[in-house]
Structure 1
Amino acid sequence: MNLLSNPFKKKIFFSVLLLLPFFNALAQEEIESKPEMQEIKVDSLYREDQFYFGFNYNTLQQKPDGISQQKFSIGISGGFLRDMPINKNRTKAFATGLGVSYNNYNQNLGITGTAENAVYTVLDSDSDFDKNNFKQLLIDVPVEFRWRTSTYESYKFWRIYGGVKFSYLAYSKSVFKDGQGKTVITNNQDFNKFLYGLYLSAGYNTLNVYAYYGLNPIFKSAEIEGRKVDMKALSVGVIFYIL
């Protein structure tokens, strides 16, 4: 039986033939539009939330006369930062988070006495001591502005991050050891409990250089023979960002 012998069936057949190009173009347009829609969706949601780990060399600034650093003083830090983009391309952002820092300072500022009544002296070249340092454990809250060349497709990009870091002194320990004995003081009341400073990190991909300068002194009430100790911290090193 011939399917085209019926006039009604002929009309349906030729109508389908005429509509096929339209359906084909519509389907092709839908397929092409899906990747674009997906790209817009991904690009509008990605963030640079990151864990960070830093290794620093610690120095003391505005040291009193006679005070110098001995050996190598290290610092270690780590934490998490939450990214908050502020432009359409998501190359600019603010970020804040929570972290911890451990700082060690080897120097010749002798600390003896007690946590409530510490005594400070300058250990000159004639002083015979085996060990003298103080250490700090800090809880950090960084607040930074971010510029980067990142995209949602690549985690390798140039960056410059800078801001202010607020720190709370959770624990401190000083050790002075000489031929007569050893003095250990924990949670010295003369240390500033709240510290703040400016920092900057810059680099490419995971590895970046880092610098921090404290804006207020490490000690709040320490004195050497009536002279106030106003030393501030300066740290330089490297910082790693991991998504």
Structure 2
Amino acid sequence: MRFLKLTAVFLLIAFQSFAQPQGRDSSLVSRHRPGLFWYNTGWRPARPGKLRKYDRLILDVTYNQLMNSGSIKANPLRSFGCNVNTMWDIPITNGNTVSLGIGLAYKYQKTGPKGLFYADSSNSFTHFYADSGYTGFRKNTFGNHILAIPVEFRFRTPKWQHFKIHLGGSIGYRLQTFQKVWPEHKHGIKDKSLPDRNPLVYGVHLRVGIRNWALFADYTLAPQFKSDKSDKINALAFGVSLSIF
């Protein structure tokens, strides 16, 4: 339900972003900026011919999957997360058809794997135990709160209604790894004590879209747990990106 509400808000925000300003030729360079803040030019009006900058505040809504030693683990539909990216758009070409994006991102990765993570008896490494029947609990979630620095090369066609491709990667820090379990007829129990959480996060991502909408994919190369004895867990995410500014 929360995801549906969030999607509805995104659609309302971006509804008018597809509309072309009245009387304007799409082949001309627009003085407007794509996204929610089309008419925001700061304290002063934009100078004619000023180079436009794009994709400075990006929201990603993602469906997340866990990969165990390269095999994708089935996750229920509630395995949704989100990213908030604040970026600098640094033009490389005169028409800003190629640019460099760099900034700061917050990532919320949430999955609902069919099984639980357990520490070993010495509390030094972590294993995943599948539970296809959900014995003893009615649902569970597993996730991370991450702070990261994304860097990406951005390629776009000229003019305001452009086609774009972003190729990039990120490096960051896991602020928290958690597992939450809902036993039958009881409130959820949250566990943040898995022993060998890997604090280092790095991965690659891709966006392909038109103007302020894009399809998004992200793969976390860094393993979830750092012990060689732990299961090799990585995160894979697909979703939709909305550039508000």
TM-score (norm 1): 0.69
Q: What amino acid sits opposite 1:138 in the alignment?
A: I
Q: What amino acid sits opposite 1:60 in the alignment?
A: L
- Residues 1:170 and 2:172 aligned together: no
Does the 8 Å CA contact 2:171/2:201 hold for their aligned counterparts? Answer: yes
- What CA deviation, in whole Å up to 9, does each residue of 1:192-220 have, x standing for no partner? 11111111101112211000111121222
> Which residue number corresponds to residue 212 of structure 2?
206
> Which residue number corresponds to residue 136 of structure 1?
144
Q: Relative to structure 1, is the Cα distance of residues 73 and 50 closer, same or farther in structure 2, using a 3 angstrom cutoff?
A: same
Does the 8 Å CA contact 1:53/1:79 hold for their aligned counterparts? Answer: yes
Q: How does 1:100-179 map to 2 (within 5 A)?
A: 100-112=106-118, 117=123, 120=127, 121-125=129-133, 127-151=135-159, 154=160, 156-179=161-184
> Which residue number corresponds to residue 90 of structure 1?
96
Q: Relative to structure 1, is the Cα distance of residues 125 and 206 closer, same or farther in structure 2, using a 3 angstrom cutoff?
A: same
Aligned residues: 195
**Partner Cα distance (2:211, 2:132) in 1:** 45
Does the 8 Å CA contact 2:65/2:72 hold for their aligned counterparts? Answer: no
Q: What amino acid sits opposite 2:170 in the alignment?
A: K
C-alpha displacement of 1:141: 1.0
- Residues 1:234 and 2:236 aligned together: yes
Q: Relative to structure 1, is the Cα distance of residues 144 and 67 closer, same or farther in structure 2, using a 3 angstrom cutoff?
A: closer
Q: What amino acid sits opposite 1:176 in the alignment?
A: V
What SS does the corresponding residue of 1:195 show, helix, strand or coil? strand
**Partner Cα distance (2:126, 2:53) in 1:** 50
Q: Which has the larger radius of gyration?
A: 1
For 2:67, which of 61, 65, 71 is the aligned residue? 61
Q: Relative to structure 1, is the Cα distance of residues 190 and 180 closer, same or farther in structure 2, using a 3 angstrom cutoff?
A: farther
Q: Relative to structure 1, is the Cα distance of residues 165 and 229 closer, same or farther in structure 2, using a 3 angstrom cutoff?
A: same
**Partner Cα distance (1:204, 1:67) in 2:** 31
Higher share in helix: 1
Percent of matched pairs sharing the same residue = 24
**Partner Cα distance (1:206, 1:176) in 2:** 37
Q: What amino acid sits opposite 1:217 in the alignment?
A: P
Unaligned runs of 5+ in 1: 1-40
| Structure 1 vs Structure 2 CA RMSD | 3.0
